[in-house]
Amino acid sequence: MFDLSWMAWTWQTATFFAVIALLLAGMTAWEFVRPGGAPRDGVLGLHTTRGDRLFISLLGSAYIHLAWLGLIGPNLWWALALSIVYAVLVFRFV
């Protein structure tokens, strides 16, 4: 499809960045439909919007994956499942 060999990308890396781009596009569309970002105070005591919660979710998921790689090994499917649960909890309670 595209020659990404200059960056030595794998299909997994390209999928990762495509998912991030789709998340950002979805959040942008959501903001157009319901402006304001639904700010609220969560369990952390932070005043967060949807964008803040997405950033916290992505950052936490990166740490979950890095910890999984360091402690358990390269099979990341369970880390992905844990990250999805973490993201749902962040969007619900933070």
Q: If you write DSSP's letter for every residue of 39-61 in order, what string do you get?
A: -EE-TT--EE-HHHHHHHHHHHH
**Structure tokens given for 86:** 């973490």
Tell me which DSSP letter residue 74 carries: S
Same domain, 21 and 56: no
Distance CA 24, CA 65 (A): 20
d(C-alpha 12, C-alpha 44), whole Å: 33
pTM of the predicted structure, to 2 decimals:
0.83
**Tens of pLDDT, residue by residue, the chain (94 residues):** 677 677 777 888 888 899 999 999 999 999 899 888 778 888 888 889 999 999 999 999 999 999 999 999 999 999 999 999 999 999 999 8
87 and 58 part of one domain: yes
Q: Do 59 and 73 share a domain, yes or no?
A: yes
- Domain region containing 20: 1-35
Overall domain count for the chain: 2
CA 83 → CA 2, 11, 53, distances in Å?
29, 20, 13
Residues 57, 20 share a domain = no
User: Pseudo-torsion of CA 59, 61, 65, 66, nearest 10°?
Assistant: 20
The answer to whether residues 50 and 40 touch, using CB atoms and an 8 Å cutoff, is: no
Within this chain, do residues 65 and 81 fall inside the same structural domain, yes or no?
A: yes
Residues 41 and 22 in one domain: no
pLDDT of residue 10: 81
pLDDT of residue 69: 94
Q: Which pLDDT score, from 0 to 100, does residue 12 have?
A: 82
